[in-house]
Amino acid sequence: MITPHGSATLNPLYVADPAARAALAKEAESLPALLLNSAAAANAVMLGAGYFNPLPGYMNLADMLSVAEHMRTAAGLFWPVPIVNLTGDTAAIRGQARIALRDPNLPGNPVLAVQQVDAIEEVGEAQLKQVAEKIFRTLDPKHPGVATFMSLGRHLISGPIQVLNFSYFEKDFPDTFRTAMQIRDEINRRGWRTVVAFQTRNPMHRAHEELCKMAKEAVKADGILIHMLLGRLKSGDVPAPVRNAAIRKMVELYFPPNSVMVTGYGFDMLYAGPREAVLHAVFRQNAGCTHLIVGRDHAGVGGYYGPFDAQAIFEKEVPRDALKIKIFGADNTAYSKKLGRVVMKRDAPDHTAEDFIDLSGTRVREMLSRGEALPVEFARPEVAAILMKYYQSEAARAS
């Protein structure tokens, strides 16, 4: 199996031994506490789950600035996005060597992890903007990633962490949330050697389904990992439970048995386009995948990124020896009325826009909200029915 990023074996920060975990939870009761924001909590979950291997915890200021500028930590580890614990108020933890990190996403704010405090550093406004501009390629406050990052606070708490649980993800998504360790174990159990990963924060229509099948055939993969984001999204995106149900129905009915793993990971969407695409590659390698599908405007939002910027970053900015996972670059896919099948648009140069059945997200939402069936060439009926129920309930709530 493909080795993890930056180490020979996976080193998740979750405390797996029950006795050690109980002892750590007991210690946490007497430690000064910091209530995390959702972004820092998501980072803790990803560190605990092994997805951010080989990081030992939250980065310091030197690492944050170096990663933003050079995609490497100060020590030289290739890494595309700073993994940080930024906060606004550190009064309760000043001078403390160890602190309990409390979960903002669960009632009662239970302890999520324990952190060794190596440093508490103040980040200047200019430094925050420097990092944001490098990661998001914009400082526009309307960009959801920029808006979130700039609001986290200006105190950076760095140091190793030990993770006690995976927040709400295990309870809310027991059949879907999986750690990198669990995915690796399942890949081994299935006997897969070549695995192509598909990242999604949206429901999957016919074009996405066929893209996965195209990629599997092109790289001669044994299986596909459909890996959906389960954390926070921007307003207007389809909630994870609805998306999960729709994707599972599609896989159940339209993929061969033992060809797909439907799983999810506990992270908040960054909408960082190219940089987030590279982060996606890092943690899919840690999960045991050999290939990642990078599509048109991968991890993008609005018009902030060019359609193929997320592919170009791998060719122009990621050193060839930085990652072992390979990229399958894809164009938009759509149903061709001329050919009677779904194709990548780049493979149909003789087509015009009228030759494709290709609906905008706005048009899809409008149709489903009114109870109008989507074309079967665009969406599987069983999948569309799940989405229609959701959009109609949203329309009724708004009226």
What residues are labeled active site?
A: 201-202
Measure the CA–CA gap between 225 and 287, rounded to whole angstroms. Answer: 10
φ/ψ of residue 369, rounded to 5: -65, -30
> Which three-class secondary structure state does DSSP give residue 28?
helix
CB burial string 39-49: b at 16+ within 10 A, e below: bbbbbbbbbbb
DSSP state of 339: T
Measure the CA–CA gap between 347 and 257, rounded to whole angstroms. Answer: 29
Give the alpha-carbon dihedral of 95, 98, 102, 108, to 10 degrees: -90
DSSP state of 329: E
The position carrying tokens 């029915």 is 385
Measure the CA–CA gap between 80 and 276, rounded to whole angstroms. Answer: 8
Token pair belonging to 225: 């990992």
Residue 120 contacts residue 94 (beta carbons within 8 Å): yes
Residue 357 contacts residue 337 (beta carbons within 8 Å): yes
CA neighbours closer than 13 Å in the CB half-sphere of residue 132: 23
Residues 6+ away with beta carbon under 8 Å from 278: 71, 80, 81, 313, 314, 318
159 torsion bin: left (phi>0), alpha (psi -120 to 50), beta (else): left
Residues 6+ away with beta carbon under 8 Å from 344: 211, 214, 330, 331, 332, 333
φ/ψ of residue 176, rounded to 5: -125, -45
- Distance separating the N- and C-terminal Cα atoms of the chain: 52
